[in-house]
Structure 1
Amino acid sequence: MERFLKRYHVDFIGKKILVALSGGPDSTALAVILSLLKKRCSLNIEALYLNHGLREEAFQEELFIQNFAERWKFKLHILRTNIGLLAKKTHRGIEETGRNMRYFILKQFAQKRDCNLIALGHHLNDLAEDVLIRMLRGASWPALGGMDVYLKEDKIVRPLLFLSKDEIKSFLKMLNQNFCIDKSNFQLDTLRNRVRHTILPLFCKENPSFLKNIFRLWQAAKIDRHDWQAKIENLKPKIFENKIEIDREELELFLPGERMRIFSQCLKQLGPGQVLFDNVMKLEELFSARKVGKRVEFPGNKLVLLNNDTVSFLKG
């Protein structure tokens, strides 16, 4: 894990890290590994467990996690929320509400505790699920490559992204370290669970190296994003808090395929929200037709405006 983080330029040596701890095998292994690296890498480890108030067994998990933190000697924080009530008030789904609240609380708590990084337990199987879901939703390249290992602005890092679920469980078994099982992860009422338990196993059955191939795809996408980010910086765009603006004359120097990559990368810079191929294609068609005053909307509350002299990428 140390080599993996260094390879992708994650500055974690001597840092204070907040682990998003659920008690499942992924976050449990993450907390253990970081604890083992604590002395070697001069780390200060804290963990946050969020009880969403959705499962009765969550209170038993709290007890397990308290004992777990004592064993591995890191500071533990437990917060309780009522996601069900919040979902009703906001008229959103339980899964979406829980995810949004989880990230919001983690960021706020990390800031409060002066943590340099927020460590999440996503692993290679999660990455494969993410790629398949993006494919189902029509994501364009390189967004199709899946989640990032490091989101610098949000201080989020995913140190286990190169490890499979089986490798993580084998590691915990070797240490005789137990973990919790969230039964809701086996319910097929959400897309991610259906992909996890029905679609992904079929791919792995057809090709036992499927997860390795997903990691290669992820590596290729990361290289591609890096290269196109360099091209965008050479364009010298005007960057504001929630806006990126590029001169149309500069964009006209590129071929359509290259321009679509630039559009995708600018949208990616504005934050969460998958960059769908159909939307990018529509934007390119409008640009090539020299349309002015047109707008194209994207997931994540993003908007692109085609002005007389510029193309504006907006967030919010």
Structure 2
Amino acid sequence: MVLTLRAVSNPMQEAFVQILVEHNLVSPGDRVLVAVSGGADSVALLHLLHRLAPTFPLTLCVAHLDHALRPESADDLLFVQRLCERFALPFVSSRESVAEMAEQRGVGLEEAGRDARRSFLTQTAARHDCRWIALGHHRGDQAETVVHRLLRGSALSGLAGMRLKNGPFIRPLLSFSRQQLLDYLDRQGLPHVQDKSNDDFAYTRNRIRHQVLPVLQSLNPAVEEHLAHLARRIESEEDYWAGEERRVLETLARRRADGLWLDCKTLAEVHPALRLRVIRRALGEVRGSLAGLGRLHLEAVASLLGGLRPQREVHLPGAWVGRRYRQLWLRRFPPVIGEPYSLPIPGPGSYPLPGGAELTVSLVETGAGEDRWSVEFDASLLRFPLTVRTFANGDRFHPAGAAGGKKLKDFLIDSKIPREERRSLPLVVGETILWVAGVRRCHGLRPDSGGAAVVRMVLKMADCPTIGL
């Protein structure tokens, strides 16, 4: 890369190369898709990459999306196409009615346009085997982003603004002002198009650009630079916090097929600044995205850690979180309580249960001992047929080790069994409840040491249960 820098004589181009090298935005031999709207910033980006591509080397492809919002948008497409012909670069274009998309989805034009561009660019990059997608955002765009997010009540992480590299997207112009780009185009004799929608105050960003930032600049002419510098500092600190979030989440999380489980006590002891970040990361893992989540959502989840009620829940956009005694349960959707069932056990054998579990009942000469998932009874004291069923109102149970019986519901609450489990726990029943499977056997009926035959029951769960967390 040293040879590359020496080969560049234009100061703007030299600064551009410096950014590419220092931040490792591209590597020799990469294929780069350049998003070009026809505006000054994207044209400057394309020209800079085109001039430097042979030296790195890079292979470029240009993409343009017509949002179908202005009558002259077809002219913009034609301008970019001719520019690519001038530079002898491959060109890909598409047209998407952003207005129709916004109406169908019930979102604003800005959000719909952003989603349409992202989808078009990522799909085009994949088709053309491009490793990177270069965007023309400059320092002014970064300042607008910071102010915009401040106005929307963003958390600190949002004030990191746009990153130089984020997934497949790179933004090599973030350190340059719009005026620097305009001066560069003027020196190179390069035309660009003017998007009239940039002056439409119906768009929040345009109001920030034309109304808010000029006021701030009247107080401090360098406010744009300061805002961009603030974003870079926060980005650096966010990278540090991300490592802490991952470390803490690994210490208190259990990932299972039924969701993500977090230890409440450990999470409550984490510093509040880090606690909300860990919750956000956990939700992002469960949802696959953080879109639509804000500070109030995170605080609602954190509020579950306190209070006297051991079982509470909150419904969030795209997620459900419930406190179940000592654990916080995070899922994409609320848990579904299984349908009640009652199945006969006429004698020894294997009995599939709803939900994928299996109960095995066998008659053996010698017991092998009990654990959470297996129990043994004196065969002479048991009478078939038995039943395996779910909870029923009015059930009573005399658990092993207790002085007497009690309502099964009270026993399950005392055992801190989540409410979703209470209605789906397999109960093996004879004249009384013999076994709350996975939780406790009944009092008495144990095999004696005289060599009598033993009825052994083993429950095999389909997946790791939530019982007894």
The unaligned stretches of length 5 or more in structure 2 are: 1-15, 334-469
Deviates more, 1:268-277 or 1:210-219: 268-277
- Superposed, 1:134-173 pairs within 5 Å as 134-152=149-167, 155-173=168-186
| 8 Å contact from structure 2 (residues 147, 208) kept in 1 | yes
Asked if 1:52 is matched to 2:67, the reply is yes
Asked if 1:260 is matched to 2:276, the reply is yes
**How far is 1:227 from its partner?**
0.9
1:258 and 1:8 mapped to 2: Cα distance? Answer: 28
1:166 partner amino acid: Q
1:296 and 1:150 mapped to 2: Cα distance? Answer: 33
1:245 and 1:68 mapped to 2: Cα distance? Answer: 54
Of 181, 206, 221, the residue aligned with 1:208 is: 221
Identity of aligned residues (%): 27
What secondary structure is seen at the aligned counterpart in 2 of 1:78?
A: strand
Instruction: Indicate the structure with greater helix content.
Output: 1
Match of 1:226 in 2: 239
What secondary structure is seen at the aligned counterpart in 2 of 1:118?
A: strand
| 8 Å contact from structure 2 (residues 254, 262) kept in 1 | yes
Deviates more, 1:11-20 or 1:170-179: 11-20
**How far is 1:110 from its partner?**
1.1
CA RMSD, Structure 1 to Structure 2 (Å): 2.8
The unaligned stretches of length 5 or more in structure 1 are: none
| 8 Å contact from structure 1 (residues 53, 80) kept in 2 | yes
1:167 and 1:53 mapped to 2: Cα distance? Answer: 30
Which deviations, in whole Å up to 9, do the C-alpha atoms of 1:256-303 show, x marking residues without a partner? 122123334555674453753343334333334476442263xxx553
What secondary structure is seen at the aligned counterpart in 2 of 1:48?
A: strand
**How far is 1:172 from its partner?**
1.1
**How far is 1:87 from its partner?**
3.5
Match of 1:295 in 2: 314
Which deviations, in whole Å up to 9, do the C-alpha atoms of 1:159-211 show, x marking residues without a partner? 21111111111111121111100001101011111111111111122111112
- Superposed, 1:72-111 pairs within 5 Å as 72-111=87-126
What secondary structure is seen at the aligned counterpart in 1 of 2:25?
A: coil
2:166 partner amino acid: L
**How far is 1:124 from its partner?**
1.1
2:307 and 2:24 mapped to 1: Cα distance? Answer: 41
**How far is 1:53 from its partner?**
2.1
1:43 partner amino acid: L
| 8 Å contact from structure 2 (residues 132, 170) kept in 1 | yes
Structure-2 change in CA distance of 1:247 and 1:73 (3 Å): farther
1:46 partner amino acid: C
Would you say how many aligned residue pairs link Structure 1 and Structure 2? 309
Instruction: Indicate the structure with greater strand content.
Output: 2
TM-score by length of structure 1 reads 0.86
Structure-2 change in CA distance of 1:73 and 1:204 (3 Å): farther
Q: Quick check: which has more Rg, 1 or 2?
A: 2
**How far is 1:17 from its partner?**
0.8
Asked if 1:117 is matched to 2:132, the reply is yes
**How far is 1:59 from its partner?**
2.0
Match of 1:176 in 2: 189
1:207 partner amino acid: N
Match of 1:312 in 2: 330
TM-score by length of structure 2 reads 0.60
Structure-2 change in CA distance of 1:150 and 1:244 (3 Å): farther
